[in-house]
Structure 1
Amino acid sequence: MTQFLQQLINGLSIGSVYALMAVGYSLVYSIMNFSNFAHGGVIMFGAYFGFFYLTLFRLPFPVALIGAALSTAILAIIIERTAYKPLRNRRAPFLYFIICAMGMSIFLENIIIALPFIGPTFRTYPEIFSKTPIKIGSLAVGRLDLLMFIISAICLGLLVYFIDFTKIGKAIQATSYNIKASALMGINTDFIIITVFALGGFFAGIAGVLFGMKYTVYPQIGVITNKSFIAAVFGGLGSLPGAVIGSVLLGIIETFTSGYISSQYRDLIAFVLLIAVLVIRPRGLMGKSNEDKA
């Protein structure tokens, strides 16, 4: 029973970070109906921003965390303005958006490698919190794991409040249902798209810092978004509750696979889950079909 609870705690911790990543996918998909594969590059930049804010500028952790999140929010807006807005203005097919997003992801990764003061070197965050776990009976809860869960839960709670109880949030919901009708009703859909990318970038920055603290920072760290994409598909692309539930379930499944079977099968199980969802229920757990959004 102790091992079961220990794996459950670990799964909730990593699943909560997956959720921060997955909501970026879901927000963009809900409005623009394509998967923003450049999201991984934004998360990677978030990890580097947090690292340099802590080590180079020696900012306190809360300031560095918010600074990294704001920096990646600005980066996400720049990506939307320079890469996606011209395609929207030309009414390009959605396939062009996906190709552009993949190209932008490769560009972001390689620009970090090309920078002489960064390069491909692996970097480790300074020890901000004690590695001594918190003992709860026979359970050992890592301080960083607990911090990851608390920060992720607060951020996701604030996002839900913003979407459900603010005027802009209501406009995002309306635009996600039908962007053309929303524009006819007077909603500034261009501003809504900017807001959605900013929100996704903000949470990507926080996820990048937390993930970099737990593991390490390197240019290919954005590949972890493959997991968050799986979680978003599992929960239902375009659905924020689905993205959160899918992420938590994926984190739990991965940790239980590592704990009871083998860590070698961790990624295998994740991608088998993706294939199974696409074959059996393409909409995911809580996603809507395209016909519902038309």
Structure 2
Amino acid sequence: MSYLLQQIINGLSIGSVYALMAVGYSLVYSILNFSNFAHGGVIMIGAYIGYFCLTMLKVPFYIAFILSALGAGLLAVSMEKVVYRPLRKRNAPFLYFIISAMGASIFLENIVIASPIGPTFRTYPPIFSTEPIMLGPVALGRIDLLMFIISAISLIALIYIIEKTKIGLSIRATSYSVKGSTLMGVNVDQVIFIIFIMGGILAGIAGMLFGMKYTVYPQIGNITTKSFIAAVFGGLGSLPGAVFGSILLGIIETMTSGYLSSQYRDLIAFALLIFVLVVKPTGLMGKSTEDKA
């Protein structure tokens, strides 16, 4: 029983970080109706910002954390302005957005490899004690606890903004109909700016947390494949669905590693994606749309 609880705790930890990544996909998809595959590059840059702030600038953890989030948010809105906005103004097909997103992701990854940073794996300096917190027979890692708490606070703040503020009302209106919200006086460009900066900030947080847990390297953004699966599983365009799908995927992965083998983690994840797309393409909480990407 204690082993089962241990795997659930580990699953909640990694699933909460998946959720931070997945909501970035869902936010963009809910408005622009395409999957922003450049999201992984933003996460990678956020992880590197946090690392260099701690190792080179020697700033406290909370300052590195803030700079990582803000830096990733700035990168996300810059990408929207340079890569996606010209396509939106020309009413380009959604396929062009996907191709541009993939190109932006490859560009970010390779520019880091070609820079003095290089392809080297880098490890965050020890910030917290590695001694776990014991809850009876269950060990709770301090970084795992931090990942869960920060992710939970960030997601609660995001949901509050979406559900209880005027900005959130504009986002929800635009997600239903871009043309209709424009006629009602909503500034769609401003809404898109806001969703990209919110998604970027969450990506920066996720990147730093994931880098602290594991290591930092140019391909770290590939982990967003899992968060994309979680977003599809929960329902693209649905924030509660993205969170639920991410937590469930995290638990499934840790159960697979704990009771079968870590070699089956990716197999189970992609099998789950195929199953959901075949049985319920809209996901558990998603809404049916004409275009899926």
Q: Same fold (TM over 0.5)?
A: yes
Name the structure 1 match of 2:224.
Answer: 225
In the alignment, the residues of structure 2 paired with residue 236 and residue 195 of structure 1 have an alpha-carbon distance, to the nearest angstrom, of 21
Name the structure 1 match of 2:210.
Answer: 211
Correspondence 1:242 to 2:241: yes
Determine helix, strand or coil for the equivalent of 1:140.
strand
Correspondence 1:124 to 2:139: no
In the alignment, the residues of structure 1 paired with residue 290 and residue 131 of structure 2 have an alpha-carbon distance, to the nearest angstrom, of 52
Name the structure 2 match of 1:44.
Answer: 44
Name the structure 2 match of 1:11.
Answer: 11
Q: Counterpart of 1:123 in structure 2: which amino acid?
A: R
Name the structure 2 match of 1:155.
Answer: 154
- Cα shift readout 1:206-227 (whole Å, capped 9, x = no counterpart): 0000000000000000000000
Gaps of 5+ in 2: none
- In the TM superposition, residue 249 of structure 1 has moved relative to its aligned partner by 0.1
In the alignment, the residues of structure 1 paired with residue 236 and residue 6 of structure 2 have an alpha-carbon distance, to the nearest angstrom, of 30
The TM-score with structure 1 as length reference comes to 0.98
Name the structure 2 match of 1:271.
Answer: 270
In the alignment, the residues of structure 1 paired with residue 242 and residue 65 of structure 2 have an alpha-carbon distance, to the nearest angstrom, of 23
Name the structure 2 match of 1:103.
Answer: 103
Superposition pairs of residues 186-205 of structure 1, within 5 angstroms: 186-205=185-204
Q: Counterpart of 2:207 in structure 1: which amino acid?
A: G
Gaps of 5+ in 1: none
In the alignment, the residues of structure 1 paired with residue 274 and residue 25 of structure 2 have an alpha-carbon distance, to the nearest angstrom, of 18
Name the structure 2 match of 1:31.
Answer: 31
Name the structure 2 match of 1:168.
Answer: 167
Q: What RMSD in Å do the two structures reach over aligned CA positions?
A: 1.1
Superposition pairs of residues 127-138 of structure 1, within 5 angstroms: 127-138=126-137
- Cα shift readout 1:120-150 (whole Å, capped 9, x = no counterpart): 1110000000110001111110000000000
Determine helix, strand or coil for the equivalent of 1:53.
helix
In the alignment, the residues of structure 2 paired with residue 102 and residue 164 of structure 1 have an alpha-carbon distance, to the nearest angstrom, of 31
Name the structure 2 match of 1:177.
Answer: 176
Aligned residues: 292
- In the TM superposition, residue 62 of structure 1 has moved relative to its aligned partner by 1.0
Determine helix, strand or coil for the equivalent of 2:134.
strand
Determine helix, strand or coil for the equivalent of 2:129.
coil
In the alignment, the residues of structure 1 paired with residue 8 and residue 131 of structure 2 have an alpha-carbon distance, to the nearest angstrom, of 19
- Cα shift readout 1:230-287 (whole Å, capped 9, x = no counterpart): 0000000000000000000000000000001111101100000000000100000000
Q: Counterpart of 2:118 in structure 1: which amino acid?
A: G
Determine helix, strand or coil for the equivalent of 2:128.
coil
In the alignment, the residues of structure 2 paired with residue 139 and residue 253 of structure 1 have an alpha-carbon distance, to the nearest angstrom, of 19
- In the TM superposition, residue 95 of structure 1 has moved relative to its aligned partner by 0.2
Name the structure 1 match of 2:87.
Answer: 87
Structure 1 runs of 4+ with >6 Å offset:
none
Name the structure 1 match of 2:56.
Answer: 56
Correspondence 1:257 to 2:262: no
